[in-house]
Structure 1
């Protein structure tokens, strides 16, 4: 990698950090950025990550029940997927048996390689044993727990993914137990990069309390039969049977294994990044204030309003980076909770794909579905294919393309194991679309399927890039405690300078091509 691979050279980073006084808060900088209509990469993210990181933020003592899903000794959830500074979020906690507990809240980032910063501690607090809900219509498990505490979000909390660590305070002679909660702090300022967490997919696969997800209804795995609610804890990472084996994910959805390596790397290099949840993208306004939009990891479930929002962003000049796989696969309508809170229940409403064969076949085999979404390939460049899962090497087919500048790659070079565990293929017929990488993914050596990574020009000097793999972020960084995923007897190798340089090239082009 060349010395200028980072958008902010180390010398400039140190100079900017030392020159920043502690009297200037991130809230003041954010307001200045909004007023001036520009991003402040050298101020917001760098200043935040210059703060002391936490030496102790991971789960140390984790226990899941006999079915391997929940941690009834302590577990919790938040009343909202995302919240803005100045608003509040309720935290519902249950302990069985009832216990006092404490909550330590961390913002996830780089922080000198430590990965998180402690923003506030709460407790001791009291937790009762709150009821496990009985299955409702379509096997819905919607908790109606009482709040254990309310977090008022201060004005100076920077947008980011915030993970809380719940820890029981044991009685004498007892062990303590831990689990996570997670939510996003969002903002509305102009930013270079908008990072959308894939929390719809986290919830679709969430099997709390006892194997109840979108996939576990008796009528079938792929149909519209099951509803799932955000009003419940996240069980152990839902893909642990064959993709990730890390019980330290309990309560944090899929952020830590599949998305955190990207956030860690972006903040390490001082990129001006803001964060949002899937539910924040039902209209395009937030994204139109940014230069690049990133879909990350496993981003399978989109409300159709998300599709049209991101399509509008592309048409208005926002660069789109699908650093993800199995993306925009299922139409996922939101509806309100039983208490009237918007966007808290989802279900699999039908396939994206228009009249493409993969969508027609899904509809015929697993429906009837109430919805059919547009052809996702006309937005992403490549599509969901069948089989959609497997593993393979990410093989370069167009080494002279600008995304490979500074990588030294040649035709046919491969990045081992980077494709998986789900991917995209079947490129769309879009003017100017190029296949920059492609090859074969295998389900454990059988059922081969072609995958393709694509890029095409947008209408206003922007571009749309599709990395075509859930595992792209694995090539960027290895945060503290990170466990590499694997699938179908194939796995990525971790940070790779070629993946890092390609991502720098993509982001530089995006930042330079559009004035937010």
Structure 2
């Protein structure tokens, strides 16, 4: 196998560079003036300049370590250190980390909470002692389904009840300080700890799209056994497409490459921005919504911060019920709710650990698109997926007299550079709309697809008869515009604040 192909697998390029122009975004706990080694072995500056966080304001864990000995991200070929855990836990509960270390050696776990934190992007909240590491058994492969559910538990993270609910990352580092990997997870407020205010557990419930994250997960990205709902390998180490990809993938495995999902940066962008301005947030995963572990009607609004392409029937029904009960919905990306999926138990019996979607296998008759199954996504969101955007283009705004654009200074037909990127949604005139008392399209942005065909993107807002607002940005670029260095746009920040303030009854 050519060496350049091996390097692509080791770098996570296939899993993490395929369809998202914004990628994972900056790893916030690594921000600062220090250098790191990229996947070609070159010394490179990190994402944010030294001035982003003055030295006098850095806590000890934010001080940059020396360049020499800086850990590199583990890969899926040698699997120097890889791990996974359940995607969420409650305050006061525990999270079991299952970690494989090759060659066997001790390792440490540093736990970070994602947030603004004066520009740092995350705060270190816990650290393990040195933990004994071993080489776990090879992943089990059944057809195209890869699972590590048979790995031994390596370390248990006790989650204190005084922690804040949120998005967390466990950073695994080998004792020789040569390699690192990551395990993202969510901390929910325990049911007994929730004290509703005016009938609401919190103003906004942030739902992290772990179902979609797993659909894209190609672990192990080794040219041999890894598979996602998009790709798989043949015996020659060639990457196969959707027609021969997995139809069932397991949650019980690490994420490919650095151990972070493909689209996780979108969620982190929103979280940093929203916590900076003090929005009252609760946290959960899409799998929690599916399993009924949360009641979405107990929040003023549900926020879907990133690419959220794969939805089960229970997920959609729960969100529809919430909207009809008056809970607003905020979709900050594009291509949401495109595929219908099923979740089933793992071989161990643990529920909702296998994700199944037949996608295009078997021809058009086997399509699992919501629109082909009689429930177009537009009937919930007001717009729906139209196509990929080869290169970022301006968002062309409309109806700037609407309250959502208040304070932005925008005028009709004004352009916001680069705000239509990745994938786009639009209104389909021949598809039914949801019931609404009012509706407005806030942008109409022309672009050409990869074949040169003229298309357009649209941003939508409608008000349901229940009084709930339903917003859909129709672009991948909205969340990065909130708090991604090099991509922020004050007008998008203000429009988002106008929307959330309205939902949270600030006006």
User: In the alignment, does 2:204 pair up with 1:193?
Assistant: yes
Cα distance change, pair 324–54 in 1 and its aligned pair in 2 (3 A): farther
Task: State the distance in 1 between where 2:273 and 2:64 align.
Answer: 18
Structure 1 length normalisation: TM-score?
Answer: 0.76
Q: Does structure 1 retain, via aligned residues, the 8 Å contact 2:340–2:368?
A: no
User: In the alignment, does 2:333 pair up with 1:340?
Assistant: no
Cα distance change, pair 426–114 in 1 and its aligned pair in 2 (3 A): same
Counterpart for residue 180 of structure 2: 178
Higher strand fraction (1 or 2): 2
Alignment of 1:82-161 (within 5 A): 82-161=88-167
Counterpart for residue 22 of structure 1: none
TM-superposition CA deviations, 1:455-486 (whole Å, max 9, x none): 111223221011011221111113xxx6xxxx
TM-superposition CA deviations, 1:102-134 (whole Å, max 9, x none): 001111111111111111110200110112224
Counterpart for residue 422 of structure 1: 423
User: In the alignment, does 2:488 pair up with 1:495?
Assistant: yes
Q: Does structure 1 retain, via aligned residues, the 8 Å contact 2:78–2:102?
A: no
TM-superposition CA deviations, 1:23-61 (whole Å, max 9, x none): xxxxxxxxxxxxxxxxxxxxxxxxxxx996951699952
Cα distance change, pair 71–163 in 1 and its aligned pair in 2 (3 A): farther
Task: State the distance in 1 between where 2:122 and 2:64 align.
Answer: 7
Counterpart for residue 442 of structure 2: 436
Counterpart for residue 72 of structure 2: 62
- Taking only aligned residues, the RMSD between alpha carbons, in angstroms, comes to 2.8
Point out the more displaced range, 378-387 or 136-145.
Answer: 136-145
User: In the alignment, does 2:84 pair up with 1:72?
Assistant: no
Cα distance change, pair 505–447 in 1 and its aligned pair in 2 (3 A): same
Task: State the distance in 1 between where 2:454 and 2:79 align.
Answer: 41
Task: State the distance in 2 between where 1:200 and 1:54 align.
Answer: 32
Task: State the distance in 2 between where 1:133 and 1:122 align.
Answer: 26
Residue 286 of structure 1: CA displacement? Answer: 2.6
Q: Does structure 2 retain, via aligned residues, the 8 Å contact 1:434–1:456?
A: yes
Counterpart for residue 229 of structure 1: 250
Alignment of 1:397-412 (within 5 A): 397-412=398-413
Counterpart for residue 366 of structure 2: 367
Q: Which residue among 254, 272, 281 is the counterpart of 2:280? A: 272
Counterpart for residue 453 of structure 1: 459
4+ residue runs over 4 A deviation: 50-54, 56-60, 217-220, 222-225, 368-371, 386-390
Q: Does structure 2 retain, via aligned residues, the 8 Å contact 1:395–1:412?
A: yes
Counterpart for residue 319 of structure 2: 310
Q: Does structure 1 retain, via aligned residues, the 8 Å contact 2:341–2:356?
A: yes
Q: Which residue among 201, 217, 230 is the counterpart of 1:206? A: 217
Q: Does structure 1 retain, via aligned residues, the 8 Å contact 2:117–2:123?
A: yes
Q: Does structure 2 retain, via aligned residues, the 8 Å contact 1:74–1:177?
A: yes
Residue 143 of structure 1: CA displacement? Answer: 3.9
Q: Does structure 1 retain, via aligned residues, the 8 Å contact 2:340–2:369?
A: no
Query: Structure 2 stretches of 5 or more lacking a match?
Result: 1-56, 195-200, 235-239
Residue 257 of structure 1: CA displacement? Answer: 2.3
Residue 193 of structure 1: CA displacement? Answer: 0.9
Q: Does structure 2 retain, via aligned residues, the 8 Å contact 1:70–1:208?
A: no
- SS of residue matched to 2:425: coil
Query: Structure 1 stretches of 5 or more lacking a match?
Result: 1-49, 237-249, 352-361, 483-492
Task: State the distance in 1 between where 2:357 and 2:63 align.
Answer: 38
Structure 2 length normalisation: TM-score?
Answer: 0.77
Residue 394 of structure 1: CA displacement? Answer: 1.4
TM-superposition CA deviations, 1:55-85 (whole Å, max 9, x none): 16999522454xxx5661111100x111111
Point out the more displaced range, 411-420 or 277-286.
Answer: 277-286
Point out the more displaced range, 451-460 or 134-143.
Answer: 134-143
Cα distance change, pair 316–195 in 1 and its aligned pair in 2 (3 A): same
- SS of residue matched to 1:406: coil
Residue 222 of structure 1: CA displacement? Answer: 5.5
Q: Does structure 1 retain, via aligned residues, the 8 Å contact 2:247–2:359?
A: no
TM-superposition CA deviations, 1:139-177 (whole Å, max 9, x none): 33344210101112211121101101111111xxxx521
- SS of residue matched to 1:280: helix
Task: State the distance in 2 between where 1:258 and 1:117 align.
Answer: 19
Q: Does structure 2 retain, via aligned residues, the 8 Å contact 1:391–1:443?
A: no
Cα distance change, pair 208–284 in 1 and its aligned pair in 2 (3 A): closer
Residue 402 of structure 1: CA displacement? Answer: 0.8
TM-superposition CA deviations, 1:212-262 (whole Å, max 9, x none): 1111247851688521111111113xxxxxxxxxxxxx1121465221111
- SS of residue matched to 1:379: helix
